[in-house]
Structure 1
Amino acid sequence: MKKAANCPKGKKRGEGDPARSERSPLETRFTRAMRRVLEGIEEAEHKLSRKTVHALRVSIRRSRSVAAGMRQVDPEGDWMELSREGRKLFRRLGALRDLQVMLGWLRALSEHGNPVRAALLKKIRALERAQLKRARRALERFDSKRWRHWAETLSAHLHDLGEGRNELERIARERFAEVTRLHRKALRRESIETWHDLRIAVKRFRYTIENFFPDRYADWGASLGHIQDLLGEVHDLDVLADFLPKAGSPWTPSERRRWLKRIEAERQKRLEEYRSLTGGRGGFWKAVAAGLAKPSP
């Protein structure tokens, strides 16, 4: 983690304003997420465990999701720069996270001594060592001083969004429209690519609501999080299925049938739950659509 860097100069809107005695809820959430990124980096520098990597990526995603919304309503802020700085580390940690999750699924779906499991564990461990080195280099290059500076200065831009609330409402509706479009497409086509695209759309919509519409998130947050988890696990299983042939000679026709049957059973269990939660007149997406049609509290 870099200890020194040139920071943007100039007094930002709202910075040092004596009349601004209390932080808004959005300021508090943003500052907390930004601080947790720095804390997560310090922890990751000691140990890049699956739990540490996941928590750090979540904090980066929360920070970047605020920046994604604010870029549309606050051209004065350094939101793009913040997003770019976070993206570099987020992506590098993502490659490591994928391997760590795959290790967990391999163990969960097979017995000790399975030849495919043994071959892939060895292969993944080798890939993990390489990704650990790359992740550590990314941690070293991360500009913590600029990140801390943004946490202090950009939070002032979140105190009173004013007419920017209307633009954020539009963004939320636009992102939900993408969710519903991909939801219908996924149910029609059942393709791996469409389920993956839907997972990303749900994630973007969830963080938009969490960051900018806390009253709505209080009603929808648990269901959005659960849906994101279901689709995330489907994606993890798809990644594993694509990786299995790399086991080499242990990947026999019988092993192929055994593994793919187990993976498909786990996939369908999660997809059926997703359909149950979101389908029909009383489905979750219908409730969200009705809520978005009303003015934000």
Structure 2
Amino acid sequence: MDDWVKKLAPETDPVRMHLQTAFETNEPKLRENAIRLAGKFDQKTWKHLERTLRQRSRLVPVGGLAAECLALERFELARQLHAKALRTEKPKPWHALRIGLKRFRYTVESLLPEHYASWSDNLKRLQDILGEIHDLDVLTAVVKKSDLHETEDSLRLWHEFIERERKERIETYRRLTLGKTSLWNIWRSGLPTNGRVEAAALARLRATARAVDPHVRRTSQVSRISIALFDAFKRGDAAPAFCDTALRRILLTAARLHGVGNASTRKSPQKAARKFLLGLVVPPGWTNEDWELLALAVRYHRGAEPRAKAGSFSKLSAEQQNSVRALAGVLRLARALRKCGVLSGSGFRAEKSADTIVLRVPGLPDDAGTAARLAAGKHLLEEYLRLPLIMKTAAKTEKVVTLAPQQVPEFSVLASD
């Protein structure tokens, strides 16, 4: 700040002299306060966070799809802040843009070193420009608080100096970030596009699940069974939801993320999971509506079933409510099947008639305990299907090995002497 004061006015300027005196007077107090706050720094918690970060960073390989997705998320947030800042010259949006760009830069630097090698100079340049704009905004606030009433002409000149310097930097920023040669366009072209966006988002969500789910293996089993159920119901033409490819993607992601609440609470992990998911940045390629639908499917994958006249579920349209019933119902049934000893989704077959839907599951035990567990697990899904769902054991397909035909050696009959 002192450097800006020296740059903007000569030594004899009364405002400069006043500000420099104030800086010198306040510096010891500010330093003392900073040292006091540093002394309260929680070293134990910091070391715990450091260990956690070290473990989780292994789940995001440098230069991988998950890393690209994280960079794309930071990019999109920063670009939104860029658009807001350009609509005004007020300080707060420009300061928010500075923070957003800094986060994007650090993400690229840490996770995409090859990209950073190409982008670092321009990232630093923009960050420096935004940093200078912020410094000038802070200096404006300091000058406004100045009590030099007898130097109003000098104060007016200071505001003009600061405004001129600020406008120059904003114009430089605009020149670098607008038009065909926009730096934002260059950076976006180096991040996932088209079909790669979905693959990157899936990799990022898979890393998130592995980082916070204490039962990854169990979750993986439920995920495989869930998708097998969905596909079996589609083949059996059980209901419209199972022909929707968008719902299949939501189910796949919900199945992989349904265990993220188990680490934070024992009382209601499904509610904790929904809260956790809604606290995440919506992944690239996802709409807010689809992400909220996923969060509700996870919310109702266990525990009390959704009620049409209570909670956030009641605010959904009839179509959305049916989607939640279908998705959460499949997850509930998948969990019940896993608890019954079904660990694979191979061989599932659904058959629909006018009165029922029969689901045949290879290896399904035939006992009272299994029947009770499945009755509870399929109830929500039956609400969506509006037909009884009959669970039956499917005969395991015997593997028939085709033997190669034996080669009969050729021989000839020769006359004896």
CA deviation vs aligned residue, 1:121-157 (integer Å, no higher than 9, x gap)? 2222222211100122233343557756866785465
Which of 145, 166, 169 in structure 2 is aligned with 1:270?
A: 169
Which of 17, 22, 27 in structure 2 is aligned with 1:123?
A: 22
Q: How far did 1:251 drift?
A: 6.0
CA deviation vs aligned residue, 1:183-210 (integer Å, no higher than 9, x gap)? 2222222322211111111111111111
| Residue 228 to residue 269, structure 1, CA distance change in 2 (3 Å) | same
1:133 maps to amino acid: E
Which of 219, 223, 234 in structure 1 is aligned with 2:133?
A: 234
Which of 188, 195, 217 in structure 1 is aligned with 2:87?
A: 188
Q: How far did 1:168 drift?
A: 3.8
Asked if residue 288 in structure 1 is aligned to residue 181 in structure 2, the reply is no
Which of 172, 187, 193 in structure 1 is aligned with 2:71?
A: 172
8 Å Cα contact 2:63-2:113 kept in structure 1: no
1:104 aligns with 3
CA deviation vs aligned residue, 1:157-194 (integer Å, no higher than 9, x gap)? 53463599544433322221122222222222232221
The runs of 4+ residues in structure 1 deviating greater than 6 Å are none
Q: How far did 1:114 drift?
A: 1.3
Provide the rounded CA distance (Å) in 2 between the counterparts of 1:251 and 1:281.
50
Which of 234, 245, 253 in structure 1 is aligned with 2:144?
A: 245
| Residue 140 to residue 193, structure 1, CA distance change in 2 (3 Å) | closer
Q: What is the 5 A alignment of 1:45-64?
A: none
Asked if residue 197 in structure 1 is aligned to residue 197 in structure 2, the reply is no
| Residue 182 to residue 152, structure 1, CA distance change in 2 (3 Å) | closer
CA deviation vs aligned residue, 1:97-141 (integer Å, no higher than 9, x gap)? xxxxx2221112111121111112222222221110012223334
- SS of the residue 2:145 aligns to: helix
Greater helix share, structure number: 1
Provide the rounded CA distance (Å) in 2 between the counterparts of 1:163 and 1:213.
6
Provide the rounded CA distance (Å) in 2 between the counterparts of 1:178 and 1:157.
22
Q: Which runs of 5+ in 1 are unaligned?
A: 1-101
1:169 maps to amino acid: E
TM-score scaled by structure 1? 0.58
CA deviation vs aligned residue, 1:51-102 (integer Å, no higher than 9, x gap)? xxxxxxxxxxxxxxxxxxxxxxxxxxxxxxxxxxxxxxxxxxxxxxxxxxx2
8 Å Cα contact 1:119-1:250 kept in structure 2: no
2:57 aligns with 158
Provide the rounded CA distance (Å) in 1 between the counterparts of 2:53 and 2:117.
25
Larger Rg: 2
1:52 aligns with none
| Residue 193 to residue 281, structure 1, CA distance change in 2 (3 Å) | same
| Residue 162 to residue 183, structure 1, CA distance change in 2 (3 Å) | closer
Aligned length: 195
Provide the rounded CA distance (Å) in 1 between the counterparts of 2:47 and 2:7.
40
| Residue 287 to residue 251, structure 1, CA distance change in 2 (3 Å) | farther
- SS of the residue 1:252 aligns to: helix
| Residue 250 to residue 121, structure 1, CA distance change in 2 (3 Å) | farther
| Residue 103 to residue 148, structure 1, CA distance change in 2 (3 Å) | same
1:193 maps to amino acid: K
| Residue 191 to residue 249, structure 1, CA distance change in 2 (3 Å) | closer
CA deviation vs aligned residue, 1:268-295 (integer Å, no higher than 9, x gap)? 2211111111110111111111111356
1:114 aligns with 13
- SS of the residue 2:190 aligns to: helix
Higher RCO (C-alpha under 8 Å, 6+ residues apart): 1
Aligned CA RMSD, in angstroms, stands at 2.7
Q: Which runs of 5+ in 2 are unaligned?
A: 201-417
1:224 aligns with 123
Percent identity reads 39
